[in-house]
Structure 1
Amino acid sequence: MNDLPQTPLLDTVKTPDDLRKLKTGQLRQLSDELREEMISAVGTTGGHLGSGLGVVELTVAIHYIFNTPEDRLIWDVGHQCYPHKILTGRRDRIRTLRQGGGLSGFTKRAESEYDPFGAAHSSTSISAALGFAIANKLNDRPGKAIAVIGDGAMSAGMAYEAMNNAEQAGNRLVVILNDNDMSIAPPVGGLSAYLARVVSSSEYLGLRSLASKVARRLSRRVHQSLGRAEEYTRGMVAGGTLFEELGFYYVGPIDGHNLDHLIPVLENVRDAKEGPVLVHVVTQKGKGYAPAENAADKYHGVQKFDVITGAQHKGPPGPAKYQDVFGETLSKLAETDDRICAITAAMPGGTGVDKFARAHPDRSFDVGIAEQHAVTFAAGLAAQGMRPFCAIYSTFLQRAYDQVVHDVAIQNLPVRFAIDRAGLVGADGATHAGSFDVTYLATLPNFVVMAAADEAELAHMTYTAAEYDDGPIAVRYPRGGGTGVGVPEVLEKLEIGKGRMVREGKKVAILSLGTRLAEALKAADALESKGLSTSVADLRFAKPLDEALIRKLLTTHEVAVTVEEGAVGGLGAHVLTLASDEGLIDAGLKLRTMRLPDRFQDQDKPEKQYDEARLNAEHIVETVLGALRWNETSKQSGASA
């Protein structure tokens, strides 16, 4: 266990009100202690590390200058909010991060008044902050809204859509661009810090406003020329032309770790009469912790680790991860098919596309946090004869649903969707759970939707998707390691819409989709021990259904149960529709559906989440026995048939 750091100054700060009582000269020490506390906490729990370390000083400065929570602070994505949580009354629970019943790893409205808007996906902060700012304006409230958005999140169009409307908020809106990849500005120093203080000062803003009013009294041409001269002069020095075009007053870039730079600039921004304002802050991921500074990618999200050495605690080697099976399989297929290409939206490692990229760099595309673009880009590739695989997390693909419908399904284009993180995801909680993909894809005409039960099935389905040119096709697979079955050398091209019988029985039929198959087989063993002969089918396809197999199972068994790791509206709903259309329910069939509950499940260990969702073997058995009104008397009277 990591020893707790000594934090005498931080110990006096319970809320931002306490922070604002400190002298500015104490903020350096507070930031250092806050950084040590965060490192210690994440070393205990695991979680996002590098991004939070990069905003320690910025977090301190914002809470010190602005009147939170009346001034609304909105973190984009929210994975960098651990220092914010420590400073806002949650330090006593910080070592419950991402644990069952503990603090969320992201911002969450139900958790604190200092989290005015929940976020775990990217690029929502400016839109939300604009909503808060306009509400204050309409109600004549003085509070400001501060959005902190990373440069990576600026790759999503939603951020620019919000900025395009931001002028209506006036000076109630402040956007802080956290540039932690040096992707926009060169390294900054004293000159840029001095310029930032000057151009954010009330004197400069007042002079600028007066000059603008005078210029408007001149001819239109002179006014426009003066405006352009100022804009492009400042743009060349500070890189703010784009943001000025969108209606923001640009300040920066400034060193996000230098409190002597941050404090005066934020004071000026707070008191500015002009607005809205964008403050460009340059930070370093992993700042202040050498292992994270030297390997930002490996320390973005971490397991529990030793604070002194930085070594992450890893369990014993397990089965291959599904994402790796997909990436390796696709790479091999691409060796003999130069039409195959892979697209991901800022998640190459998480989807396995990194493996494909190393083998086939010219056919691998990371488009940034831009899922809508990724899908339509893939559609264009498909329309031109390529075989694109669009590899996106289930929960992130939701952002591109209109493109899936309009650009892919309606045109019946053969885009292949590799849907990672399908199902429950443990510590990341509700925002990252892939609960809805079967529901939102299997309703679409022309779509084929597959779900892999194990690593071998995922490899077969990846090959099947590569060879399928008749329209869009998707394969879903979960987070983490597989079942250990391994990947066969020779892959099988599956017949579209055909499931497989895994176990033959007579009385009970379990119809499984995806990786709950192992639990279905355990349930079958338990039912057999009670004398209930049980069939188990791996349907493989949520669409098209294997109607012949389903019809056979429903008409030859007394009770049938569908099992899936997805929301209502998925496999169970489609099987129920088939049974209803064919009058099978009227014939006395006992048909039950098992799926994720109709609510958002908080973070916890995966096994506890499955238990809470009632999707384990014991719950399948309970469902079957309930449908049969089973008891030990039933068994003794021969009801087992």
Structure 2
Amino acid sequence: HINTLKGKGYAPAEQNKEVWHYNGPFHIETGEPLYEMTEEDYSDISLNYLLDKMKKDPAVVAITSGTPTVMGFTEDKRKEAGKQFVDVGIAEETAVALASGIAANGGKPVYGVYSTFVQRTYDQIAQDLCINNSPATIVTFCGSVYGMNDVTHLGLYDIPMMANIPNLVYLAPTTKEEYLAMLDWSIEQNEYPVGIRLPGGSVISDGKEITKDFGDLNKYEVTQKGSKVAVIGLGTFYGLGKEVAEELKKVTGTDATVINPYYITGIDAELLEELKKDHDVVITLEDGILDGGFGEKIARFYGDSDMKLLNFGLKKEFLDRYDVAEVLKENHLTKEQIVEDIMKFI
């Protein structure tokens, strides 16, 4: 065993190890950040929801594996949560096994984890959680091209990993309101292990009341009805999907159908079949790698039909310290590039 001391030789880091576990750009003289983060983020949202839920229900337990602030649990908030907060240390396998055991015994565990660390506990998600069908909740943070961008911490691979394990329901909210509705449903239901993949980028809050029953699995939502072209925008890229529809209308006059699929792990066969009646092209947009991803499930459904399919996402590669705008352009993920590709088929 090696005991590491991070920040050796830099006084602010030595004096406040937790805050300096990870840090963005800072003034070296003072240790103060170069950029102040004042916007609400999903850590804040998760913390406020869970603390309130804990007070009302002693069965709710928040779990972390060495990154307590992933869900906003700073030292003072951990004290407030008391025994309803568990940090297992840097042991993601233990976290998932613990969550499965708590759920199997009637508890309501919520495990918050950065997408990049899901790979460390793939065995436990499959073996301990999903084979036993334990109704625990995994909240995946920074699973996005907009997340951490160094090669050892990429969050682009969780969809192929998590979306292909039997029994797991993996959800993709697009807004704060959808996330909280999914989280509440997941905690209270006792039929499925559930993952929730948080959107990348800034938090979008539209104030919309969510009445959807997420237990009615794999039912997508048509948010704009059109014809000829259907745009299925998953999670973070639902917003891009709306932009594509607007650009397509401007360039070609075509009113596209826009769909929020919600579910990463399943397809809405009834809706996809219905699209065959008045659509020629279906495009999918996902904030992750294409290989083994969401779009391939849709493409497979249409494989024996005349429907044209275009899957947009990221190619499989190890990126490092990348510029998001450049990566999006390289992967044909600007609205102009996508519309240009669509126009080849309409």
Matches of 1:429 and 1:310, distance apart in 2: 22
Is contact 1:459–1:491 with CA below 8 Å preserved after alignment? no
Q: Is 1:314 matched up with 2:35?
A: yes
* Offset at residue 560 of structure 1 (A): 0.6
Superposed, which structure 2 residues align to 1:570-581 within 5 Å? 570-580=293-303
* Offset at residue 381 of structure 1 (A): 0.7
**CA spacing shift, 1:557–1:488, aligned 2, 3 Å:** closer
More helix by share: 1
* Offset at residue 372 of structure 1 (A): 0.9
Corresponding letter in the other structure for 1:362: K
* Offset at residue 302 of structure 1 (A): 2.7
Matches of 1:490 and 1:525, distance apart in 2: 24
Matches of 1:385 and 1:316, distance apart in 2: 38
TM norm structure 2: 0.90
**CA spacing shift, 1:308–1:445, aligned 2, 3 Å:** closer
- SS class of match (2:86): strand
* Offset at residue 521 of structure 1 (A): 0.8
* Offset at residue 338 of structure 1 (A): 2.3
Give the aligned partner of residue 532 of structure 1: 254
Corresponding letter in the other structure for 2:301: L
Q: Alpha-carbon deviations, 1:21-61, whole Å to 9, x = none?
A: xxxxxxxxxxxxxxxxxxxxxxxxxxxxxxxxxxxxxxxxx
Matches of 1:352 and 1:488, distance apart in 2: 24
Give the aligned partner of residue 319 of structure 2: 601
Q: Is 1:589 matched up with 2:311?
A: no
Matches of 2:79 and 2:173, distance apart in 1: 25
Corresponding letter in the other structure for 1:341: V
* Offset at residue 389 of structure 1 (A): 1.2
Is contact 1:514–1:540 with CA below 8 Å preserved after alignment? yes
Q: Is 1:345 matched up with 2:61?
A: no
Superposed, which structure 2 residues align to 1:159-178 within 5 Å? 177-178=2-3
1:429 to 122, 145, 150: 150
* Offset at residue 519 of structure 1 (A): 1.1
* Offset at residue 179 of structure 1 (A): 4.0
Matches of 2:141 and 2:54, distance apart in 1: 20
Give the aligned partner of residue 541 of structure 1: 263
* Offset at residue 334 of structure 1 (A): 2.9
**CA spacing shift, 1:329–1:554, aligned 2, 3 Å:** farther
* Offset at residue 356 of structure 1 (A): 6.5
- SS class of match (2:155): coil
Is contact 1:428–1:603 with CA below 8 Å preserved after alignment? yes
1:397 to 102, 108, 118: 118
* Offset at residue 335 of structure 1 (A): 3.1
Matches of 1:371 and 1:387, distance apart in 2: 18
Give the aligned partner of residue 191 of structure 1: none
- SS class of match (2:288): coil
Q: Is 1:381 matched up with 2:99?
A: no
* Offset at residue 595 of structure 1 (A): 1.8
Corresponding letter in the other structure for 1:579: Y
Task: Give the count of matched residue pairs.
Answer: 342
Matches of 2:182 and 2:259, distance apart in 1: 17
* Offset at residue 534 of structure 1 (A): 0.7
Give the aligned partner of residue 459 of structure 1: 180
**Where does structure 1 lack aligned partners over 5 or more consecutive residues?**
1-153, 155-176, 181-284, 629-641
Matches of 2:119 and 2:7, distance apart in 1: 30
Q: Is 1:362 matched up with 2:83?
A: yes
* Offset at residue 490 of structure 1 (A): 7.8
Matches of 2:267 and 2:322, distance apart in 1: 33
* Identical positions, percent: 30
* Offset at residue 380 of structure 1 (A): 0.8
**CA spacing shift, 1:353–1:474, aligned 2, 3 Å:** farther
Give the aligned partner of residue 566 of structure 1: 288
Q: Alpha-carbon deviations, 1:164-219, whole Å to 9, x = none?
A: xxxxxxxxxxxxx3443xxxxxxxxxxxxxxxxxxxxxxxxxxxxxxxxxxxxxxx
Q: Alpha-carbon deviations, 1:95-129, whole Å to 9, x = none?
A: xxxxxxxxxxxxxxxxxxxxxxxxxxxxxxxxxxx
Matches of 2:187 and 2:148, distance apart in 1: 33
Q: Is 1:333 matched up with 2:53?
A: yes
- SS class of match (2:345): helix
Is contact 1:326–1:462 with CA below 8 Å preserved after alignment? no
Corresponding letter in the other structure for 1:533: D
Give the aligned partner of residue 341 of structure 2: 623
Corresponding letter in the other structure for 2:192: G
Corresponding letter in the other structure for 2:231: I
Corresponding letter in the other structure for 1:610: L
* Offset at residue 509 of structure 1 (A): 0.5
**CA spacing shift, 1:332–1:556, aligned 2, 3 Å:** farther
Is contact 1:425–1:432 with CA below 8 Å preserved after alignment? no
**CA spacing shift, 1:609–1:412, aligned 2, 3 Å:** same
**Where does structure 2 lack aligned partners over 5 or more consecutive residues?**
none
Matches of 1:336 and 1:487, distance apart in 2: 24
* Offset at residue 289 of structure 1 (A): 3.2
- SS class of match (1:532): coil
Matches of 1:432 and 1:515, distance apart in 2: 19
**CA spacing shift, 1:406–1:462, aligned 2, 3 Å:** same
* Offset at residue 426 of structure 1 (A): 5.3
Q: Alpha-carbon deviations, 1:318-363, whole Å to 9, x = none?
A: 3x21232223223333333322211111011124354973542211
**CA spacing shift, 1:395–1:308, aligned 2, 3 Å:** closer
Q: Which has the higher contact order (CA 8 A, sep 6+)?
A: 2
Is contact 1:292–1:299 with CA below 8 Å preserved after alignment? yes
Superposed, which structure 2 residues align to 1:15-164 within 5 Å? none
* Offset at residue 438 of structure 1 (A): 1.9
Matches of 1:611 and 1:542, distance apart in 2: 24
**CA spacing shift, 1:487–1:606, aligned 2, 3 Å:** farther
* Offset at residue 403 of structure 1 (A): 1.1
Matches of 2:203 and 2:339, distance apart in 1: 24
Corresponding letter in the other structure for 2:331: A
- SS class of match (2:140): strand
Corresponding letter in the other structure for 2:296: A
Is contact 2:148–2:154 with CA below 8 Å preserved after alignment? no
- SS class of match (1:551): helix
* Offset at residue 306 of structure 1 (A): 2.4
Q: Alpha-carbon deviations, 1:271-303, whole Å to 9, x = none?
A: xxxxxxxxxxxxxx4344333333333333333
* Offset at residue 609 of structure 1 (A): 2.9
**CA spacing shift, 1:496–1:324, aligned 2, 3 Å:** farther
